[in-house]
């Protein structure tokens, strides 16, 4: 089921985590069956869109009976490859890094911080939650040794590109970027840009 | 041009800030003209999608000559209503609140933190950047007095719903939610959920 050979548009892949989040919430409320209509109301996409997106990956629902939540949730986890936990590097031990180190939503959804890096000698060696901040000079080697392929950039904009370069050299292929800047990476590397202003602007249209 | 009477799908509105961000970047590089093809390569949406999205709001490009960057940028700012600056309330003076207070990307793109609130007596009255942390008990009244309609929630998940309720009572109609929880708000209020795990999951599909 996961990663079928036919090409799925990136925009569809981008919606799957939202479906998964909604299903996990329904599941936590003790629900067993849902419908594209209910998901539509929760998420704001049309039910036709939801049915079409899911149909890329198989037959999940039956006309009139809807989707079995547990099965669809499990399937989406496999498709997104978060049925196991990815080790991540967190780069940046400032305020944002602290907030991310304390974020308790990673592990249940497929991710765990394996190491935290910073360039600031004042921060290196200090404890942040359960992690001791490592010098960024050692990052590339540690990424390779531990086969870490996912990273979060939580450094100032001016430092973000050089951090991204180091991550790519270390074998990272997926970067969650909090720095307010566009990163240049090879085509094989994915970047997801956390942009609070884009979120705000998508709401002010309606005000 | 802004807010035309015909209905524009929310998914289209959600892409406009990304077009605007790309245009601002091109503009900062001294560029004057772009094309749906170039925007497509930058953003990962098809050029047909981009042309269709923009066509909801008028005629921005000419066959063969592309889009005039400055004009399209200005038009998108007006459509998204960020040609003036929105005052925002930031709720939560923890690590994430500190990071947001120091974020220097708001004002150039239409937003400014007007006040910071927290419930913790240890934090109330302390300085955070240029702001003094205000008691959350005074938030509702201050929001109404200052006509603040936009807010950021940067509190733990357990406190987020009660904060959202207070914001809504204070007249807020757009909430950027960093807490890892779904908020229940009246239909007139927009919520944009910053979900780092959804971003990560949209990349692990490809690994």
Q: How confident is the model over A137-184, as pLDDT tens digits?
A: 999 999 999 999 999 999 999 999 999 999 999 999 999 999 988 899
Segments forming the whole domain that contains residue B150: 86-197
In a domain, B61, yes or no: yes
Which of B150, B190, B201 minimises the CB distance to A82?
A: B201
Residues of B in contact with A10 (CB under 8 A): 44
Using the 3D structure, point to which of B79, B94, B114 is the last residue of a domain.
B79
Chain A: give the shortest CA distance to residue B62, in Å.
Answer: 25
B68 and B96 in a single domain? The answer is no
**Segment B121-147 mean pLDDT:** 97
Band of pLDDT at residue B2, cut at 50, 70 and 90? very low
Q: Say if CB A47 and CB A39 are below 8 A apart.
A: yes
Mean per-residue pLDDT for B1-9? 62
The CATH number covering residue B158 comes to 3.40.50.720
Measure CA of the first residue to CA of the last residue in chain B; give whole Å: 42
Q: What is the CATH number of the domain that holds B40?
A: 1.10.10.10
ipTM: 0.94
Please name the residue of chain A whose CA is at the shortest distance from the CA of residue B18.
A198
Contact between chains at A200 and B149 (C-beta distance less than 8 A): no
**CB count, 10 Å around CB of A113?**
22
* Minimum distance, in Å, between the CA of residue B147 and any CA atom of chain A: 13
pLDDT surpassing 70 at residue B187: yes
> In terms of C-beta density within 10 A (0-12 exposed, 13-18 middle, 19 or more buried), how is residue B100 classed?
buried
User: How far apart, in Å, do the first and last CA atoms of chain A sit?
Assistant: 42
Helix, strand, coil percent values for chain A (each to nearest 5): 45, 20, 35
Confidence of residue A6 (pLDDT cuts 50, 70, 90): low
What integer is the mean pLDDT of A89-101? 97
Same domain for A167 and A93 = yes
Q: In which residue are the tokens 């080697």 written?
A: A141
Q: A104 and A179 share a domain?
A: yes
User: From the list A20, A44, A199, which residue is nearest B10 (CB)?
Assistant: A44
* Contact flag B16-A205 (C-beta cutoff 8 Å): yes
What pTM does this model have?
A: 0.90
Residues whose CB falls within 8 Å of the CB of residue B41, separated by 6 or more in sequence, listed in order: none
Q: Is the pLDDT of residue B167 over 80?
A: yes
pLDDT of residue A60: 85
pLDDT of A5: 46
Rounded Cα gap, residues B205 and A76, in angstroms: 10
DSSP B94-159: SHHHHHHHH-TTSGGGTEEEEEEEES-TTTTT-EETTEEPEEGGGHHHHHHHHT--EEEE-S-HHH
- In this model, does residue A3 exceed pLDDT 70? no
């Amino acid at each position: 089921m996961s990663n079928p050979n036919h090409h799925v548009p990136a925009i569809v892949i981008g919606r799957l985590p939202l479906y998964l989040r909604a299903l996990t919430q329904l599941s936590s409320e003790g629900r067993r069956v849902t419908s594209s209509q209910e998901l539509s109301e929760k998420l704001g996409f049309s039910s036709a869109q939801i049915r079409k997106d899911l149909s890329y990956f198989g037959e999940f629902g039956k006309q009139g009976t809807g989707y079995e939540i547990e099965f669809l949730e499990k399937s989406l986890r496999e498709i997104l490859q978060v049925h196991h936990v990815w080790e991540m590097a967190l780069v940046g031990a400032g305020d944002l890094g602290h907030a991310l180190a304390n974020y308790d939503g990673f592990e249940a959804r497929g991710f765990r911080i394996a190491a935290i890096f910073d360039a600031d000698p004042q921060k290196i060696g200090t404890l942040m939650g359960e992690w001791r901040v490592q010098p960024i000079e050692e990052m590339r080697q540690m990424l390779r040794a531990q086969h870490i392929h996912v990273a979060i950039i939580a450094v100032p904009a001016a430092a973000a590109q050089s951090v991204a370069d180091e991550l790519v050299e270390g074998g990272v292929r997926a970067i969650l970027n909090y720095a307010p800047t566009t990163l240049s990476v090879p085509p094989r590397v994915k970047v997801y840009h956390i942009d609070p202003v884009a979120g705000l602007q998508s709401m002010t249209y309606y005000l």
